[in-house]
Each structure stands twice: as C-alpha cells, then as structure tokens.
Structure 1
Amino acid sequence: MNINQFPKRNYTDHQTPIEYLERLSKHLGGPNIYMKRDDLLGLTAGGNKTRKLEYLMADALQQGADTVITCGAVQSNHCRLTLSAAIKEGLKCVLVLEERVPNSYNPEASGNNFLYKLLGVDDIIVVPGGSDMQGEMEKVADSLRQKGNKPYIIPGGGSNEIGSTGYVSCALEILEQLEEMNLSIDYMVAASGSGGTHSGLLTGLHGANANIPVLGISVNKKKQEQEQKIYNHTLKTAKHVGANVDFPREKVIVLDDYVGPGYSLETEGMREAVQLAARKEGILLDPVYTGKTMAGLIDLVRKDYFEKNDNVLFVHTGGAPALYAYTDSF
C-alpha cells in the first residue's frame, strides 16, 4: 500500500489532534471516549471532505479542469468545502443541490447555504429528491463543454476511490498518533453516509494490519444496503491504493438505529448529543452527521455495548456550519 504515489494538494499543514473527552466520558460512566478532530481540517470551517479534496482537486488540476461540478443536499458540507477548494485553486464551481426533503431549499437560509453565496459560487442548480445526481451533473458538464470549459465532476461526498484515499491516509495518521500517545483503541466510531470516510478508514486499517473495529453509524440508509455499499467501495479503494483486496465482509459494521425519520431530519438523540458535546466539552457537532453519530455512540454506551475501560475513538467529521440552519431545534 503506497498512497504517496498519488498527486495531492495540501489544505492542512498539521495533523488533527486526538483529544480525550474526559467530562463526557465521566458523564456517561465510561468507556474512555477520545475524538479525532477532523472538524479542524483546513478550508472553510473544516470537515472530513477536506482530506478527500486534497486528492480529488489534484486529479482535476492534472486533467486541466477549469471548473468543478459536485452535488449534495441543500446544506451540504461537501459542497461548501468543494467550493472552498475550487477558490483556492482558482477554478470555477457549480453546485447541484438535491432537495431530499421536499421544499427544504431556501435560498435565504443560513448555514452552508449562506456560505455558498458568501464564497461566490458560480451557479447553484436545485433538483428534486431522488434525482439521478450523476446524470444531472453530466448535463451541467455537457453545457459547460459547449461553452469551451473543461469541467471535472466530483461525486457526492467526494466518495470515490480517489477521494477515499484521503481517509486511507487518515487511518495511517491515527495509527501514528496512537503509537506516539502509547494508546490502544478498542473501537472507532464514524458517520457512514456517502461512504468515502468509512471505507477509507477500513482500507487504511486493514492495509496496516490494525485490528480496530470501525462502527459506522448510518445517517440515511438501512444496515444491509449501506454495508454492501461500504464493502464494494472498500474493495475499490483497496485496489486503488494497492492494499490487500482480500477484505473480510464481516469487518463492515453499520448500525442504522439512529437515522430517525430520514436523512437530515431531527431526532431527540441527535439534539441531546449536540447539547452534551457542547456543554461538556465545548465542541460543536452538526445535526445531520456527527450529531446522529454521537447519539449512536451515547446509546451504545448506555446499552453496555462497550466495556467500562474500553478506549473508543470518535471521528469528528465536521459540519458545524449546518447548525445555524437548525437554530429552532435547540
């Protein structure tokens, strides 16, 4: 496994820290909860997509692109960070937003939607929930080509094998930090959505022969569907980076008990998790991904899923700007 072979842009000049959440751990009565602070990554307000974009934008530049096109939900962190990376590179950016919840797009909304405009997005196209997002982006790309532009399409969440390389790198970074801290981790917990982060972590850990289970908390899909998606994506990522592609299917663990009524829709567990992280640790989570993921971790603690002295690492994938579109919920 050699990820140094791939072109990469550098949007973060430091390793993100691993913090011990002492007050939250004490409040819950164990296990020992640690947090990988990928909310502190570079680009506008940080988040996990920054790692993926370091590889995706390098590929776009290598192909001579002058415009990047990507897609996401109406409060997409990925769209915010893709736009930010495009600005850094002097490229244009077009966003295709999927209205996954009917009538949820508000051009005057706060949160990421406000930041799209502040950052100077070139165009926003809104399509109904359930649209063929790849097809919608291809339409935009065809239109741009007819105007003489050179577009580059980045999939939703940056979740292809190129983007997932960023989380193969993150897994290796975590292992290096754990060795320096003389810390052994029993479980890792991360959001499982478009799949790039989850599959990248699995690939990196497997490639390094690190036997740390990764619990993926689904934010949208049912367990069986999401596990198959993550497994397929892990195989592609492993092949891409030259890791052992003999990846055991049973290592893909997805828990779907915390999605609630649907993607981005509120749950009581999410509200409690966001408030606890803020009031116990001074850390902001987001309502869509990390809030529901932390709700899952808290519930698992209360159900004695972990031993009291286990060490659990929560991967904070960012997303706090979306909080400002949910102020009525808190």
Structure 2
Amino acid sequence: MNLARFARRRYTPGFTPLEPLPRLSAALGGPDIWIKRDDLLGLAAGGNKTRKLEFLVAEALAQGADTLITVGAPQSNHCRLTLAAAAKEGLACRLIIEERVPGTYNDAALGNNLLFDLMGAQNVRVVPLGTDLAAEMAEEAALVRAEGGVPYAIAGGGSTPLGALGYAACAAEIMAQSFDMGVAFDAIVVASGSAGTHSGLLAGLVALNAGVPLTGINVRRARAEQEGNVHRLAVATAELMGTPAPARDAVIALDDWVGPGYSLPTADMVRAVRMLAAQEGILLDPVYSGKAMAGLIGLVERGDFTAGQRLCFVHTGGSPSLHAYARDLRDPALNG
C-alpha cells in the first residue's frame, strides 16, 4: 500500500496517540480496551474528517480551487473541519446544512455552530431532509464560477475513495504503533456514518494483510443498507490504491445502537459519554463516538468481546458538539 504517490496536505504532526483505557476496562470487567485518539488530529478541535481533508484539499489546491463547498447535518463536524481547512489554506468556504431532524438547525447554537461563526462562515444555507445534495453543491459551484471563482465540491463527510485514503493511512498507523508497542489487537471498533472512515480502515487493513476484524457501529442507517454502502466505498478505495478488494463478509456495521435516528440521543449514548469522561477523562460526542462507544460497551456486556481479548476503539472526535447536547446529557430520563 503506497500512499506516498497521492498529494497530501499534512494537518497533524506525526501519529495520533494509541492509549490503554485501564479504568474503563476494569469497570466493564471484560477485554483490555485501547483507544486511537483521532480526536487529537489537527485543525479546529480535531476529529476524523481531518484525515480525509488532507487528501481532498490537496486535490482542490492542485486544481487551482479558491472555494471549498460541502454538506453536512446541523452540528456537522465535517463542516467545521472543512471550514477550518479553508481558513488555514486561505480559501473561501460554502456550507449546505441538511436539516435531518426538522427544527434542529439554529445558527446561534453552541457547539459546532458557534465554531462556524468564529471561523467566519458567511455562506451557510439550510435545506430540508431529502434534498438532492449533489445538485445543491453543483448550484453553489455554478454561483462561484459566475463570480469568477474556482470551486471544489466535497461530498458529505469527505467520504469518497480519495477521502477514504485518510483512513487507509490510519490503518497503517495503528498497525505500526501496534508493532512498536508490542500490542496485538483482536478487533477494532469504529463509528460508521457516511462510510468513509469505516471503508478506509477496512481497505487499509486488507491491503496490509493485518488480519484484524473491524466492527462498525452505525449512527444512522439500517445494517444491511450501511454494510452495502461501506463495502462499495471500500472496494472503490482499494481500486484507487491498487490493492485487494475487501470481501463483503468482512463488512460489519451493527445498527443496535442507532436509537430513534441520526443525532437523536439515547440512554446508552449518554451512559457511554459519561462513563468515558468519568473513568478516563476523555470526551466523546453525542452523534458519532458516543454511540460507537455505547456499541462497544454493549458488545462487551453481552459477551461478544471477552476477557483476554484486546480491542482498539477509534475515537473519531466531535466533542465540540457536546455543548449543544448539554440538556440531553443531564436529562434524568436518559441518565438513569
């Protein structure tokens, strides 16, 4: 797997930490749990989208773009980090927000919405769920061209084969750290949303012949649909890298912890966020890493992962959105 042939902007100096979680492991009484700290990636407040943007922004700059265009949900980590990358590179940025739950977008809200404002977001447009987002980005691109600019559109979550290279690189990081530290993992667990992180990790692990199973925890879709999405993108990413395609049965994207829908709080998520904060001093987010950790905890408690095993949880970041969910995280009905 030779990623050096792809143009890349480096927004993070070196590898992110790979750390044990001894107090959480002891509290659960199961496997030895470790965490890959991609919440500590570069750009504003970090998170998994930074890895994808390293490849996508490099392509945008190579094409002479002066404006990045992307889409996301309210409190979008991807929009925050795309805006941060644009600011760092001296580019303009236009955001299209898909209001997946009616009435949930508030431009005066805290969390990521506050950071949009701090980083100078001036072109933010809100559209309802079900809108053709590709068409909306094409319309924005046409407006940029009409003004004499050069647009570069980035799919939601940066989840394209080029963007997914960021997590093929992360797979190589994990395996290098694993070897260096003498720590062999029996499984890796990650949130599965727009599919780029999950797909990139899978394609990278297969390319490296790592032999480590990967479990995705869905945050939005039903299992069958999500697994199909992940497999298609993983195959396309492997094709881009020139490496073997992952088998369909290598894709696991469990939907047991989605709850009532994307971004909607659950008691399991609140418990996971509060447990990791109290046990290890590490902040998760309510939409992605919180539900993914809820899934890992649930799998340990039902016996899918057991004592004697060693797990790696990939922390995809997102903690700025915690402030927008303060009421839910303190709600007695969710925090039993």
Question: In the alignment, which residue of structure 2 is the partner of 1:265?
Answer: 264
- AA at the equivalent of 2:153: I
In the other structure, the counterpart of 2:193 is: 193
- Provide, for residues 217-257 of structure 1, a one-character-per-residue CA deviation record: whole Å limited to 9, x for no partner: 00000000000000000010001111113x21100011000
Residue identity opposite 2:324 in structure 1:
A
Residues 207-286 of structure 1 correspond to what in structure 2 (within 5 A)? Answer: 207-245=207-245, 247-286=246-285
Letter in 2 for 1:308: A
Match of 1:204 in 2: 204
SS in 1 for 2:4: helix
Separation (CA, whole Å) in 1 of partners of 2:59 and 2:156: 16
Aligned partners of 2:281 and 2:130: how far apart in 1?
Answer: 37
Contact 1:92–1:122 (8 Å) recurs in 2: no
CA distance in 1, matches of 2:149, 2:259: 42
Backbone CA RMSD of aligned residues: 0.6
Distance 2:199 2:61 in 1: 25
Structure 1 runs not aligned, ≥5 long: none
Normalised to the residue count of structure 1, the TM-score between the two structures is: 0.99
**What CA distance in whole angstroms lies between the structure 2 residues aligned with 1:213 and 1:122?**
43
What amino acid maps onto 1:102 in structure 2? P
Check conservation: 1:32, 1:309, Cα contact below 8 A. Answer: yes
Aligned structure 1 segments of 4 or more residues deviating by more than 2 angstroms: none
Q: String of CA shifts for 1:133-155, please: whole Å, max 9, x gaps.
A: 11111111111111111000000
Tell me which residue corresponds to 1:115. 115
Q: Which residue of 2 aligns with 1:324?
A: 323
3-state DSSP of counterpart to 1:80: helix
> Structure 2: how far apart are the matches of 1:166 and 1:2?
13
CA distance in 1: counterparts of 2:236 and 2:110, whole angstroms: 37
Cα drift, residue 122 of structure 1: 2.9
Alignment of structure 1 residues 90-109 onto 2, 5 Å? 90-109=90-109
Amino acid at match of 2:111: G
Cα displacement string for residues 23-63 of structure 1 (whole angstroms, at most 9, x for unaligned residues)? 00000002110000000000000000000000000000000
TM-score (norm 2): 0.97
Q: Structure 2: how far apart are the matches of 1:34 and 1:118?
A: 34
For residue 121 of structure 1, report the CA deviation from its aligned partner: 1.2
The amino acid that maps onto 2:292 is T
Letter in 1 for 2:56: L
Q: Are 1:312 and 2:308 counterparts?
A: no
Query: What 5-or-longer segments of structure 2 have no aligned partner?
Result: 331-336
Cα distance between partner residues in 1 of 2:160 and 2:255: 22
Match of residue 2 from structure 1:
2
Tell me which residue corresponds to 2:74: 74
Aligned to 1:33: 33
Inter-partner Cα distance in structure 2 for 1:163 and 1:235: 14
State the shift of 1:211 in Å: 0.8
Tell me how far apart the structure 2 counterparts of residues 239 and 88 of structure 1 sit (CA, whole Å): 31
What SS does the corresponding residue of 2:229 show, helix, strand or coil?
Answer: helix
CA distance in 1, matches of 2:144, 2:155: 17
For residues 130 and 109 of structure 1, the distance between their equivalents in structure 2, rounded to whole angstroms, comes to 23
* 2:334 match: none
Q: Is the 8 A contact 1:163 1:196 kept in 2?
A: yes
In the TM superposition, residue 10 of structure 1 has moved relative to its aligned partner by: 0.7
Query: Size of the alignment, in residue pairs?
Result: 329
